[in-house]
Amino acid sequence: MVLPTVLFVCSGNACASPMAETYLNTIAGGALRAFSAGIEPARRVDGRTLRALAAAGLPADGLAPKALEVFAMPQAPAPDVLVVLSAAILGRTEPLWQRPPRRLSWFLPEPRADAGPGEFARLLEAVIGRIDRALEDGTFGFARALRRAV
């Protein structure tokens, strides 16, 4: 069975997109696969992102920024849904997908460089809220299968 795949994309793959990947993988219980990538990947996931995930009881092991192009390679999992989390991506060239994914735009504010832990906690709350609503209202296009797992 091929699991539905969601790919979350932000500019650096260091804040919102790894949060979304982690949360959706955690609550889906193996009913789908979530990944994240960035247009210009950072060297590492922001430590404040990792701390916000840990404070919420979400696993952060193995998170690392990846380039969006990785997911256009033939051996990569093909996304069914591409969720763009940053307006900074607008106008950028995306990979040529063998099968174009359904595209959603959820522009979330990127934390400031000097942001404290509260701003990262609020970003995580926003990410969780968007994902929960998308599952509830069927935005992803496969919510029925997930409702049984969640």
Q: What tens digit of pLDDT does each residue of 105-123 get?
A: 998 888 877 888 889 999 9
> How many C-beta atoms lie closer than 10 Å to residue 27's C-beta?
18
- Residue 98 has what pLDDT? 66
Domain spanning 5-149, CATH class: alpha beta
pTM of the model: 0.89
Domain boundaries, the chain: 5-149
At 36, is the pLDDT very low, low, confident or very high (cuts 50, 70, 90)?
A: very high
Residue 32 pLDDT > 70, yes or no?
A: yes
* Averaged pLDDT score across all residues of the chain: 86
Q: What is the spatial order of strands in the sheet that 33-38 belongs to? A: 33-38, 5-10, 81-84, 102-105
- Residue 123 has what pLDDT? 95
